[in-house]
Amino acid sequence: MEKYRIKPGANVNLDEFDADDKSEFDGDKAEAKDALKEIAKDLDDLQERLYAEGKHAVLFVIQAMDTGGKDGTIRSVFGDLNPAGCRVEAFKAPTSNELAHDYLWRIHQATPRRGMIGVFNRSHYEDVLVVRVHNLTPKEVWSKRYDQINAFERMLTEEGTTIVKFYLHISKEEQKKRLEERIEDPTKRWKFNPKDLDERKLWGEYQDAFKDVLSKTSTAYAPWYVIPANRNWYRNIVVARIVQDTLRDLNPQFPESDLDFSNIVIE
Ligand code: AMP
Ligand code: MG
């Protein structure tokens, strides 16, 4: 999955990333579903160990254009985990209380504790994406945030949190299809927000903002992965494998007990 990882300092050009790519999976959609089930079993085991060990926190950040598949990815990749050990945080437009603080205030409170997996559906990156595209704060304020975010993430990793970030990459044509589906399919209408059409007009501005995010904030300690996301099944399998690799690298172990079990009798 290394091929999707953005190297620190890279000058990212999103046009060079094929949202239709499926080259890292040798099979079709049905086979990918089976493979995903296998990974899910392993994730369940890894998560239990992570929780039992209580040593590491793990944070997965998910960003995408509207309809990019954030919700679907979370359901497919993390949906089978024990809910006690995995917490999903969705960040909406800030409340007045949140706006009265610095932009990382609400984020820091939502970071996972040791033993937990945290999944961010949107994140502090909105503060250099929607905020930048809509001029919600002046450029001299948001332009300093890339360095601030790197410093924040560095601190988190140095204090025991592993961070991996996913940008789900869809094409503009795919977004059109998905927005149309939201109109046509009654079970998807609830997701349709007329504002998404205004956002779509700003596609280029958002892509520029993402380009800067990926170029400036993919670090050795908190890397970004650009996930080809036009095909849901491929997106899911790639994200699941990276999650699996991340947890395996931590190699969490059930802790040894210092109790003498030979003396314990249950009456
Ligand atoms: P959704 O994920 O579709 O429920 O929409 C959440 C909305 O909250 C999106 O329109 C985001 O752009 C918006 N949002 C999230 N974080 C921020 C932020 N820091 N500042 C402004 N808007 C935000
Ligand atoms: Mg939305």
DSSP string, 201-265: HTHHHHHHHHHHHHHHH--SSS-EEEEE-SSHHHHHHHHHHHHHHHHHHH---PPPP-S-GGG--
**Ligand 1 pocket, residues with Cβ under 6 angstroms:** 91-94, 122, 126-127, 130-131, 136
What are the DSSP calls for 94-133, one per residue? PPHHHHTS-TTHHHHHHSPPTT-EEEEES-GGGGGTHHHH
Residue that has been written with the tokens 């650009």 in this structure: 226
- Output the CA 207–ligand 2 centroid distance in Å: 17
Residue 27 has what pLDDT? 92
How much is the pTM?
Answer: 0.97
Residue nearest to atom 23 of ligand 1 (CA): 93
Q: How many CB atoms lie within 10 A of CB 224?
A: 26
Q: What are the two backbone dihedrals, phi and then psi, of residue 162, each rounded to the nearest 5 degrees? A: -90, 130
Residue 230 has what pLDDT? 98
Residue 148 has what pLDDT? 99
- Output the CA 196–ligand 2 centroid distance in Å: 7
- Output the CA 194–ligand 2 centroid distance in Å: 9
Averages of pLDDT over runs of 10 residues in the chain (267 residues) are 96 96 95 97 97 98 98 97 96 98 98 98 98 98 98 98 98 98 95 95 98 98 98 98 98 94 91
- Domain edges within the chain: 2-12+33-249
Residue 82 has what pLDDT? 95
Which ligand has the shortest distance to the CA of 132?
A: 1
Residue 11 has what pLDDT? 97
Residue 66 has what pLDDT? 96
Ligand 1 pocket mutation pick from 61, 89, 92, 124 by most atoms within 8 angstroms of CB: 92
Q: Which CATH superfamily is domain 2-12+33-249 in?
A: P-loop containing nucleotide triphosphate hydrolases (3.40.50.300)
Residue 28 has what pLDDT? 93
Residue 119 has what pLDDT? 98
- Which atom of ligand 1 lies at the shortest distance from residue 66's CA? 3
Residue 113 has what pLDDT? 98
Sequence-distant (≥ 6) Cβ neighbours of residue 154 within 8 angstroms: 219, 221, 222
- Which atom of ligand 1 lies at the shortest distance from residue 199's CA? 10
Q: Nearest Cα to 137, choosing from 94, 172, 106?
A: 94
Residue 51 has what pLDDT? 98
Residue 48 has what pLDDT? 97
